Structure 1
């Protein structure tokens, strides 16, 4: 509420001793909840200012998922399913472009899947993959867009289309587990088409 403050400022705000504040600040810094900024003001040692970090901000109520679902519902009710699909399609186009830029230069399927997993993990999906006699199994242990996906499974279908696009038509991709359907994770079986045929999620 007050923005960056010094330890003394915080002590005055909370009506406790400066030493008591310092003990709490050390604890919060170790947990990554606050950050320190230094500012020089003329002669003397730079002043330390403490501010909440991105991790700390996550401790406060966040209704982005609820808002997303509400917006999707409004779009569908007010403009129709076609308008919602147009938004999903546009999102798919930008997603494909971004993924292709990172994955296309790679020489083989294994490296492409590894890069796809890295991208998905970076986006919050906690992805991993393994290789066996059937091909590859790509697993996503978390879904950061779960609320939106439950409201409109077009997002899940779109993601599958992106995977297919960046891995190529010679590869067959089949979803075996789906968080939206109640599974613990989302999982995809990936293999050369000649081994699996044309499977669809």
Structure 2
């Protein structure tokens, strides 16, 4: 029984490795047919189609018809498979390295203020299109929830929860965490902008960039001011920097 359980538990891991190998071949050789993938990997065409179908269902691969170079009858043209942008993302990008290099250059040529100006410009662009909907809310909890919804739409997987005398804004994903680990100005200006947008003092309790699992911001349960439309808070208002 133990051996059977061990074998059963190993199946998903084996499937995962095989699917990754299929995806890599689509990356390196695509557009390519399932038959070619099966031949290259030495596995059955049925197994290859199962993995490709899963990649397509997850939005990581797509299909196109192979061009007809010869008259081979009236059958359907062969299907070619290739990865989508989402599928290529599983193999990583050099975007973080490029962003860090660019900010290092900016710091060397323009100094601290240039980096902070860039960080402020970035977070302004992030929240400005949601500003009206957020400041239209009356209570801190409502504004925090609206901000969380806006951040989720921007890829931050955010949510709020009520704790004690306030709200906690939790961002479960940070697309720039690796860059912010070297340039905490990204986290600092984000915190300042949240305070300005919510119209109240906020405190950053934790960030993914500093090694925590979630970016957590405390929002006290006080009536927000009209500062969400204009005005800035000092850098110290952000609490613990990233």
What's the TM-score once normalised by structure 2's chain length?
Answer: 0.65
In structure 1, runs of 5+ residues without a counterpart are none
After superposition, give the CA deviation of every residue in 1:13-37 in whole Å (9 maximum; x if it has no partner): x2857xx234123124325374242
2:54 is aligned with 1:25: no
Question: 2:14: which partner in 1?
Answer: none
Q: Structure 1 residues 16, 137: closer, same or farther in 2, change over 3 A?
A: closer
The alignment's C-alpha RMSD in Å is: 3.2
Which is strand-richer, 1 or 2? Answer: 1
Secondary structure in 1 matching 2:129: helix
Report the TM-score, using the length of structure 1 for normalisation. Answer: 0.76
Aligned length: 194
Question: 1:35 maps to what in 2?
Answer: 61
Asked if 1:83 corresponds to 2:83, the answer is no
Long gaps (5+) in structure 2: 1-27, 69-73, 225-235
Mark the CA change 1:162 to 1:44 in structure 2 (over 3 Å): closer, same or farther: farther
1:5-63 Cα deviation digits (max 9, x unpaired): 22244456x2857xx23412312432537424244978543542211133431232422
Alpha-carbon distance in structure 2 between the residues aligned to 1:70 and 1:129: 34
Note the alpha carbon deviations across 1:100-153, whole angstroms, 9 max, x for none.
154345565433322321232343433221113402111223332112212211
3-state DSSP of counterpart to 1:179: coil
**1:177 aligned to which of 185, 206, 213:** 206
Q: Quick check: 2:37–2:48 contact (8 Å CA) kept in 1?
A: no
